[in-house]
Amino acid sequence: MLMRKVIIMSIILPIIISCSLLSPSITGVNFTISAVKGWQDTGINIKSNSQIIFSYQSGRWSINKDGEYTDANGYYNNYPNMIEGVCKNAPLPDELSGALVGRVGNGKVFIIGNTQKIISNNDGILFLSINDACLGDNAGDVVVNIVVTK
């Protein structure tokens, strides 16, 4: 009986160990983005062709501290290009106001919202921001989980 257990363990244990090494758990890093700041440096260096996965974790923010708060998806049916004056110059004027947006280095701005998976077209530091041009009346922050894979 003891010999049978030893044989079974000698077969099963290496399989368990090799499976855990082949598919490690990827947790990423949480980053807090403020609604009152412009482009925020995450400190994450991205290489071209890297996959970046964003997942909203928590928090609420507002493009008007006296108004309604939202998550990283932003305000439905509210686009910066509908606003008159300087506040229409948001990073992505044709996307939802208050949505989470990003860019790698000085590259093209992309929409993130609550969840997004992108392949980077260039090298550089990952920057995140709220999709709004007038930051002085904003409030709150959101937390997003960021996973980068090659």
Domain boundary assignment for the chain: 26-149
Assign 86 a pLDDT band (cuts: 50, 70, 90).
low
Top-tier CATH class for 26-149: mainly beta
Instruction: Reply yes or no on whether the pLDDT at 122 is more than 80.
Output: yes
Instruction: Reply yes or no on whether the pLDDT at 117 is more than 60.
Output: yes
Instruction: Reply yes or no on whether the pLDDT at 6 is more than 70.
Output: no
Contact 39, 24 (CB under 8 A): no
- The order of strands in the sheet holding 139-149 is 29-34, 139-149, 51-62, 115-119
What is this structure's pTM? 0.80
The region that residue 77 occupies, defined by phi over 0 for left and psi between -120 and 50 for alpha, beta otherwise, is: left
Is 102 strand, coil or helix?
A: strand
Asked which of 13-22, 56-65, 104-113, 114-123 is least confident by mean pLDDT, the reply is: 13-22
Average pLDDT over residues 76-91: 77
Between 13 and 62, where is the model more confident?
Answer: 62
Tell me the pLDDT tens digit for each residue of 9-56: 455 545 444 443 443 445 699 999 999 999 999 999 999 999 999 999
> Residue 52 has which token pair?
């970046």
Q: Is 65 exposed, middle or buried (0-12, 13-18, 19+ CB in 10 A)?
A: middle
